[in-house]
Structure formats: C-alpha cells, structure tokens
Amino acid sequence: MADPLYDSPKPIVSGLRCRCPRCGQGKLFQGFLKIAPACDRCGLSYAFADPADGPAFFVMTGVGVVIIAIFAWVEIVYRPPIWVPFVTVFPALLFGCLGALRPVKAWLVASQYVHKAEEGRFESVGRHDFDSRRM
Ligand SMILES: [Zn+2]
C-alpha cells in the first residue's frame, strides 16, 4: 500500500465508496465530479489526482458496449417498434453513464494514489555536456 501508517482500502473499494484512497473514510468529491482539495479525515491533499478524460472514456465505452449489446439482442429477438429504443436505450445510456462516472473516477484517483502515478519528470545528473568539453 502507499502509506504504511494507514490501513488503506483497495482502490476498487475506495472507488466504489467514493472515499479517500489513504484512509477510506473522508469524502473524495466536493460536488458531483469535482474532487475536494483534501481529505476531511486524514488531510491527504488530492493535488495529485488528475484522471483527465480517463473516467469518461472508460464509462462511455463500457456502458455503451453493454447497452448497445442488449439493444441489439432485443432488436433481433423481439423486433420492437421504433419508439421502444428511443424511450429505453437513450435513458439507459444517459443514466448508466452518469451513474458509473463518479465511482470510476474515484477508482482511477485511488489507483493513481496507490501506484504513485504521475507525470514523468526529468532529473539531471549534472553531466550532460561532459564529452563536449573535452573536444
Ligand atoms: Zn483520508
């Protein structure tokens, strides 16, 4: 785990509960999808959290594949009238995506915390032009 002082839950557990990845108690979100500045229980700063478009991509892809597969199966087997997909598929896509977006975002933030994922940084060892000075 990322911090030996805390009995951190697994990323999927803290993600599904939308809780702090370190203590598993504090709230991760300030609003529907806005990440709070820090945990209200253990004080962990959420400045590291930057899942970018990852949650939206995974949710749209996953929910879209499942809903469209169900729609295709119903269309082939039952051949419903055209209004049925409009009143079932579109709301299913909308509410499926909205319902899954928050826990998936929390799960990705928790995974970032546990795996210490961040942008790569360049660290100089101070010998970049070592050979050019000799010539
Ligand atoms: Zn916390």
For the segment 42-74, what is each residue's pLDDT rounded down to a tens digit? 999 999 888 889 999 999 999 999 999 999 999
- Give me ligand 1 centre to Cα 110, in Å: 11
What pLDDT does 1 receive? 45
- Label residues 51-64 b or e (16+ Cβ within 10 Å = b): beebbeebbbeebe
- Give me ligand 1 centre to Cα 115, in Å: 16
Averaged pLDDT for residues 100-107: 95
Q: Name the one residue in this structure whose structure tokens are 């469209």.
A: 68
Q: Indicate the range of 17-31, 66-80, 84-98, 105-119 predicted with least confidence.
A: 105-119
Averaged pLDDT for residues 2-10: 77
Q: Given a cut of 70, is residue 135 above it in pLDDT? A: no
pTM confidence score: 0.79
Contact 126, 80 (CB under 8 A): no
In three-state secondary structure terms, 74 is helix
- Give me ligand 1 centre to Cα 26, in Å: 5
In three-state secondary structure terms, 117 is coil
